[in-house]
Amino acid sequence: MKEDMPIAGISSTLDILRSTIYNRKRDRINGTRKPHIAEGVESNIKGLSGKRTTYGYRKICTLLRSSGIHVNIKTVRRVTRRNNLSFHMQSIRTTQGRSI
């Protein structure tokens, strides 16, 4: 089927983007995709989260950047969520007065 039909036709039939077909083909040839998290960064995040349990992902990202490790804040958030290292703040209950 691949030889009979162009990629544009396949993508319109499957209702996916052409770039998705090219990316899947590239990933199949190269093996797996590149890792999203660089080596050592995840262990640094775990180490900082273990030492400072009340720090959130924003503060941990700031500490990493101040130590010279430039990492995206979304990466820090993903690692902390995946390893259950995120600090959960207790929600504050508010009461509203009754209006007469």
Q: What is the pLDDT of residue 17?
A: 92
The parent domain of residue 6 ranges over: 1-34
Same domain flag for 47 and 30: no
Q: What is the pLDDT of residue 85?
A: 83
Q: What is the pLDDT of residue 1?
A: 45
pLDDT in single tens digits along all 100 residues of the chain: 456 788 888 888 889 999 988 888 887 777 666 666 777 888 888 888 888 778 888 999 999 999 998 889 998 998 888 888 876 767 777 777 776 6
**Is 95 among the domain residues?**
no
**Is 47 among the domain residues?**
yes
> Is the alpha carbon torsion for 21, 24, 25, 26 positive or negative?
positive
Specify the number of domains making up the chain: 2
